[in-house]
Amino acid sequence: MKQRLVSPVRMVWLLGALLIVCILASFTLGHYPVPLGQLLGILGSRLGLPIEVSWTPQMETAVWNIRLPRVLMSVLVGACLAGAGASYQGIFQNPMASPDILGASAGAGFGAALSILIGLSSVGIMVAAFAASLATVALVFTVSRHAKGDRVLGLVLSGIMVSSLFQSATSFIKLVADPNNKLPQITYWLMGSLSGAKWSEIGFILPPMLAGLIPLLLMRWQLNVVTMGDDEARAMGVNAPRIRLWTVLCSTLVTAAAVSVSGMIGWVGLVIPHMTRRLLGADYRCLMPGSMLGGGIFLLVVDNVSRNATTAGIPIGILTAFIGAPFFLWLITGKGDHYEH
C-alpha cells in the first residue's frame, strides 16, 4: 500500500475547509448572484452583528429564503446519503452496497407518488415519503426474520425483493395517474430535485438526520471492528450484531429523511464512499466523517450545475447519474488502490 502524502486526519480537515469554500461560492452563482462581501454582511446582520447595510431587501430575501435553504439542504442530503452508503458498505462487506439497498428509496418513492395521486400538499408529500420509507424498511426486517440461512444475506435479499414490489406499485400509480397533471409531478419528484427548499422542510428533516448521523460518527471505531468479522469483534468485546443493527437503523433513518425532501438521488451513496476510501483509506474513524463531508461537497456542486445549466434547472438525480456512473467506472477500472476491507 503506497504512502499517503497527506495524513487522513488532515485530509478530513481539508475536506471541511473545501465544503465551506463551496458553500460560500454557491451564493455567488446563479441567475441572481450575490457578491461575497454582501453575502457575509447579510449573514452577519441576521446573527445580530452591527453591520452597515449595503444590500437591497431583494438580495437579502434571495439569500435567506431561497439560496441558503437550498445550499443547506444540498449539504445535509449529500452527507446523509454518503454516510449511509459508507455504513452499508462496511457492515455488509459489499462495495456495491448503497443507501437504497434495504428499500428506503423505493418506499419513499411509493409514498410520494401515492400522496401526489390523492392530492396532498407539499408537506403531506414529504411526510408520506418519510413514513413510507421507514415502513418499507420495517417490512424488510420482518421478512428477513423468516428467511433461512445467513441473516445478513437474508436482509439484503429481502430488501431487493421488497424494493421491487414497491417500485412496481409506483409504476402502477404512474399508469393510473392523470397524464396532464399528476403524472408529470410524480415523474419530476422521482427524478430528484432540491429546488424550492424551505426552512420548514429543513426543520422537519434535521432532527432525524442528526439522530442518525451523530450515532454513526460515534460508532465509527466499532465499525472498524465489525468489518473484520463477528468472531474477531467478539474477541475484542464488540457485539457485532448489535452494532450492525444500530448502524442499519441509523443509516435507514438518514436515508429516509434525505429522500423524503430530495426525491430519488442515486450514486451519491455509492460513489462518494469509494472516492473517500481512495483518499483516506478504510479506517472508519476518518472514512465516516470524510464520506459525509465529501457527500455534501459533491451534491452541492452538482446542485449548482443543476440550477445554472438551464433556466428551469435540471433534476439533480439525472446529473448525479451522468456524473456518478462514468466516474465510478473510472474508479473501479483505473490504476490505484482497490476496495479495502
Question: Which one-letter DSSP state was computed for residue 63?
Answer: I
Residue 100 grid cell: 437504497
List the pLDDT tens digit at each of the 341 positions of the chain. Answer: 456 667 889 999 999 999 999 999 998 887 777 888 888 888 888 888 888 888 888 888 888 888 999 999 999 999 999 999 999 998 888 888 888 889 999 999 999 999 999 999 989 999 999 999 999 999 999 998 888 877 788 888 999 999 999 999 999 999 999 998 899 999 999 998 898 889 999 999 999 999 999 999 999 888 888 887 777 878 888 888 888 889 999 999 999 999 999 999 988 999 999 999 989 988 999 999 999 999 999 999 999 998 887 766 788 988 998 887 887 787 677 644 444 44
Sole residue written with cell 478504510: 282
Residues 307, 195 contacting (CB under 8 angstroms): yes
- Count of CB atoms within 10 A of residue 147's CB? 15
Q: Which domains does the chain have, with CATH numbers?
A: 8-333 (1.10.3470.10)
Residue 252 has which C-alpha cell? 435507514
Cell numbers linked to 340: 479495502
DSSP label of 178: -
